[in-house]
Amino acid sequence: MAKEVFMPKLSSTMEVGTLLQWFKEEGESVEIGEPLFEIMTDKINIEVESYEEGTLLKKYYQLDDEIPVNTVIAYIGEESEAVPKDPPVGNDQEGSMEERESSSTTEATETESNVKESQSNKVRATPSARRVARENEISLHSIQGSGPKGRIQEQDVAEMVSQTETKLSTPLAEKIAKDKGINLHNVQGTGSRNKITKADVIGHDTASSDEPERIQLKGLRKAVAAKMLESARSIPHVTLTTDVDMTKAMEMRQALLPIIEEQTGYRLSYTEIIMKTTAHVLGSHPYVNASLIENEIILNKSVHLGLAVAVENGLIVPSIQHAEAKGLAELTVMSKTLGKKARNNQLTPEEMSGSTFTISNLGMYAIDGFTPIINPPETAILGVGRIVRKPVAIDNAMEIRPMMVLSLSFDHRAIDGAPAAAFLTELKECLESPYGLLV
C-alpha cells in the first residue's frame, strides 16, 4: 500500500513550509534515509529524509509552493501502484492528528540530528554533499573529504563548485531565466548557499527595467512580519530608557579579554558582559523573566536568554539556556557559536526556542536608543545602544565618560511601571559596578 509523505511540523510555531527542492523525480526509487526534499520553514532551511522505501509515485507540489504542515505532498509505494491524482484534502486527510504531529516531530528530530552513513561500497559523503554534487554534475571521486574518516561534507563540494565557477539554481529559476533570456551568471542568489531562486531571477529582470522591484513576503521574512504584527497589536508596550556609565565595564573587559581569548579562542565582547549582568539581575525580578500565555503569568525559575541575530531577510533569536549559571567564558563561546550558526542557517529548532527574555543589541551601529518589540510569550525585551563618550557631571565636575543607552520594553499587562523601573535601575547599577558579578 502506498505511503503518504507529509509536510513535517519542525517547530511549535511552524504552520507552513516552502518547498525549495525535490531530490527525486516521479518514478525514481527511494531508500530510507535518502534526502527526499528540502524546505524552508519560518526559521531554517532543512533537508527532509525519506522514512519509507519504494518508488516515488506522485509529487503534488512544485518548487516555491507554500504548503501547510501535515499536508500530503507525495506518495511512495510499489511501482505502478495507484494513488490519487490530486492531493488528499478534507476527510481524506482525517485521522489522528496527534499521531501525525508526533510523527512529524520525530521526523524533525531525526532529520536534524542524524547524518546517515553512506553505503560501504560507495564514496563516504553526507546526503547534502551528494545532492550538491548531483546538481552540479561533479564526481564525488574527485573530491577530498574533510569530515571524519575522509567523509565528504557539503562545504567540500561547494568549494569544488566555486572553483568551477558554477552557480547553484533551482529548476524553476533556470526555466524562467531561459524564457526571459537572462544569463544566470549575472544574477545574485539569495537562497541557501547563494542558490538562485525564482524570486532572484524575477527581481533581476525587474531591476533592469524602470518598474519598482516587488518582493513577496514569504519564508522567514513573512514569519518575522507576522510575529512583529501580532506582538505590536496584542501587547501594550511601554519602554523605559536609562544611561549607563560603562567605564568600569570597559576596564573589566580589557582585563579579562586575554584570559578568555586564551581559554576559548573567542574575544569577550560587551554583549556577553551585558548578558551575564542581565541574567544575574533577572533572578531578583521574576515578572521581567516571565511568560504570559493566555491569562496566565508564568514565573520562570531559570533564565533562558534570547539573543537577537540579524540574518538575510529576517531576524533569528537563538536561546542560551540557563544563562544565570554560566560564566563569561562560556557565554562568549555560546553567543559566538549560536550567532555563527544563525547566520549560516544551521540552528536547530531546540536552539531557537524556550527563551524567557531577549536582548537586542544595535551597539555596532550609530544607534543610541530604540523601542524594541517584545518576543511573545516573553514579558520584556532589552534594547542595547552604542557606547559613546559624552560629558557627564561627576561630583560637581564635568568629565567625559563612555555612556550607553539601555531601552527596556515591557508588557504592561504583566508588569507595572515601578517593577520594570526597579529592574532597569539595578541592571544599570550592576553594569556600572560589574566586578560584583565575579564574586
All domains of the chain in start order, with CATH:
3-114 (2.40.50.100), 167-216 (4.10.320.10), 222-438 (3.30.559.10)
What are the grid coordinates assigned to 299, written together?
514565573
Chain segment 21-41, per-residue pLDDT in tens: 898 999 899 988 888 998 887
pLDDT band at 410 (very low <50, low <70, confident <90, very high): very high
Q: Does the pLDDT at position 111 exceed 90?
A: no
**Whole-number mean pLDDT of the chain?**
83
C-alpha to C-alpha distance for 223 and 44, rounded to whole angstroms:
11
Amino acid sitting at position 385: G
Which residues, in sequence order, are CB contacts of 381 under 8 Å at separation 6+?
A: 357, 358, 359, 360, 372, 373, 374, 375, 408, 409
Count each helix (H run) and each strand (E run) in the chain, helices first: 10, 18
Q: What is the pLDDT of residue 322?
A: 95
243 is catalytic: no
Q: What is the pLDDT of residue 130?
A: 77
C-alpha to C-alpha distance for 156 and 163, rounded to whole angstroms:
11
What sections of 122-234 are H helices per DSSP? Answer: 127-135, 154-163, 171-180, 198-207, 219-234
412 is catalytic: yes
Q: Does the pLDDT at position 154 exceed 60?
A: yes
Contact 6, 19 (CB under 8 A): no
Contact 49, 29 (CB under 8 A): no
Q: Which among 305, 291, 400, 432 is positioned nearest to 361, based on CA atoms?
A: 305
Sign of CA dihedral 142, 144, 149, 154: negative
Q: What is the pLDDT of residue 207?
A: 61
Q: What is the pLDDT of residue 109?
A: 45
pLDDT band at 247 (very low <50, low <70, confident <90, very high): very high
This model's pTM is above 0.85: no
- Which of the following is catalytic: 64, 205, 368, 416? 416
Phi then psi dihedrals of residue 199, to 5 deg: -65, -35
- Mean pLDDT in residue range 235-253: 96
| Backbone φ/ψ region at 121: left (φ over 0), alpha (ψ -120 to 50), beta | alpha
Distances (CA, A) of 212 to 202, 203, 377: 12, 10, 37
Q: Give the three-state DSSP class for 310.
A: strand
C-alpha to C-alpha distance for 55 and 50, rounded to whole angstroms:
11
C-alpha to C-alpha distance for 110 and 88, rounded to whole angstroms:
26
Phi then psi dihedrals of residue 110, to 5 deg: -70, -35
Q: Does the pLDDT at position 270 exceed 70?
A: yes
Name the more confident of 184 and 256.
Answer: 256
Q: What is the pLDDT of residue 245?
A: 96
Choose the weakest-confidence range: 268-277, 318-327, 344-353, 405-414. Answer: 344-353
Amino acid sitting at position 135: E
Q: Which among 333, 336, 340 is positioned nearest to 311, based on CA atoms?
A: 340
Residue with cell 528540502: 38
- Mean pLDDT in residue range 108-115: 41
Which residues share a beta bridge with 378?
A: 291
Amino acid sitting at position 408: L
Q: Does the pLDDT at position 320 exceed 90?
A: yes
Name the more confident of 433 and 196.
Answer: 433
Q: What is the pLDDT of residue 252?
A: 94
pLDDT band at 100 (very low <50, low <70, confident <90, very high): very low
What sections of 70-180 are H helices per DSSP? Answer: 97-113, 127-135, 154-163, 171-180
Contact 279, 302 (CB under 8 A): no
- Mean pLDDT in residue range 151-162: 76
Q: What is the pLDDT of residue 119?
A: 35
Distances (CA, A) of 361 to 50, 261, 365, 435: 40, 22, 9, 22
- Mean pLDDT in residue range 329-350: 90
C-alpha to C-alpha distance for 187 and 208, rounded to whole angstroms:
11
Q: Does the pLDDT at position 193 exceed 80?
A: no
